[in-house]
Structure 1
Amino acid sequence: MTTALAARWHALTAQLLPDAQRREAELQRLAAAYEAPERHYHSLAHIENLLARVAAFARQDAAVVDLAIWFHDAVYEALRHDNEARSADWALAFLAETTLEPARRERVVDLIRRTQDHTQPQPPHDADLLLFLDADLSILGAPEAAYWDYARQVRREYQQVPELLYRPGRRQVLARLLDAPVLFHTPALRDELDGPARRNLAAELAAWERGGLPG
Structure 2
Amino acid sequence: MLSEVNPHLSVLAVEKQAIDWLGLISKEEYASFTRKSYVEKIEHLSQLARATDKKLIIRDWISVNYLPNVAVGAFPSETREQELYLNKYGLQSSGIVFSRRAETVLSSIKRTFTHFSGLSTDDFASAYLSYAEAVSDLPIFHYEDFCENPSSVLQKICSTLNIFYDSSFIEKFYTFHQCTGDNNPGQESKRYHLNMISSSIKIDAEFIEYSQNKKIQKANSLLGYE
**TM range, smaller chain:** 0.3 to 0.5
The structure whose residues are more often strand, as a share, is: 2
The structure whose residues are more often helix, as a share, is: 1
Larger radius of gyration: 2
Task: Give me the TM-score of the superposition, normalised by structure 2.
Answer: 0.32
Task: Give me the TM-score of the superposition, normalised by structure 1.
Answer: 0.33
